[in-house]
Amino acid sequence: MARHDDILPRLRDLAEGPPRRLPPERQLAADLGCSRQSLRAALAILETEGRIWRHVGQGTFTGPRPGPAPLRENLLIEAATPEALMHARLLLEPAIAGAAAERATPATCARLSALVGSGRSARDRQAAEAADEAFHAALADAARNPVLIAVMRFLSRARRRVGWQQRWETAYRRAGVDAFTGLHSDQHAAVVMAVAAGNGPQAASAMREHLETIARMMER
């Protein structure tokens, strides 16, 4: 089994390039053919060299440690697991739907209804994903709150990460195009109906039910 000084050159190569998160220790040790103890010793050396940095609860990242400013958004998105993203969506998006019900105009409701139609007519996963992302973004726009719009954009960027897309693809293929788009669109339509009625609690409840359905589909 390789020692820490044997794997240093390979780790230094891995640390080159744009900043990104390294694989978990267990996976990295297996890839390098070393023990986790040897890996930690080598990573400690790279950290002193300024090639990597670690963030408790987030992982190990390449490049120099950021200064006192908050983590760059792309690193936070890179660190987000599908489970963390869904948890955040369940916390935030029902509230966004509720806010949309309080401030939506007839024009924004018409736009939301049109996007429901686009989702219902989608014949492949890419089209379904595009329509879904546009619907959720339009819902944030309907709330007319720039902070909520920015939050939704952040969530949309996180959804484009590979881990989420793989889960989404699996759920889509398992359900089939008709069942997936039909259920998805029906639930979106329920949100729009509550928003158009100005019923914030009902809009929030409909969005929560929708997201919980997606979470169950992606867990199977």
Which has the closest alpha carbon to 133: 18, 214, 14?
214
Which of 69, 104, 126 corresponds to the end of one domain?
69
Structural domain harbouring 154? 80-219
Q: Does residue 27 share a domain with residue 97? A: no
| pLDDT at residue number 7 | 84
The model scores a pTM over 0.75 = no
The tally of domains found in the chain comes to 2
Q: What is the pLDDT of residue 74?
A: 62
Q: Which residues of the chain have pLDDT under 50?
A: 69
Q: Are residues 94 and 176 in the same domain?
A: yes
**Which pLDDT tens digit goes with each residue over 95-116?**
999 999 999 999 999 999 999 9
Tell me: do 89 and 155 sit in the same domain: yes
Q: Select from 74, 58, 63 the least CA-distant residue to 16.
A: 63
Residue 109 DSSP one-character state: H
> What is residue 69's predicted lDDT score, i.e. its pLDDT?
46
Cα–Cα distances in Å, from 35 out to 49, 56, 89, 106?
21, 21, 37, 62
Residue 79 near residue 59 (C-beta atoms within 8 A):
yes
119 is a domain residue = yes
On whether both 127 and 65 belong to a single domain, the answer is: no
Burial of 132 (0-12, 13-18, 19+ CB in 10 A): buried
Domain check: are 116 and 140 in the same one? yes
Look at residue 74 and tell me if it is in a domain.
Answer: no
Same domain membership, residue 23 and residue 52: yes
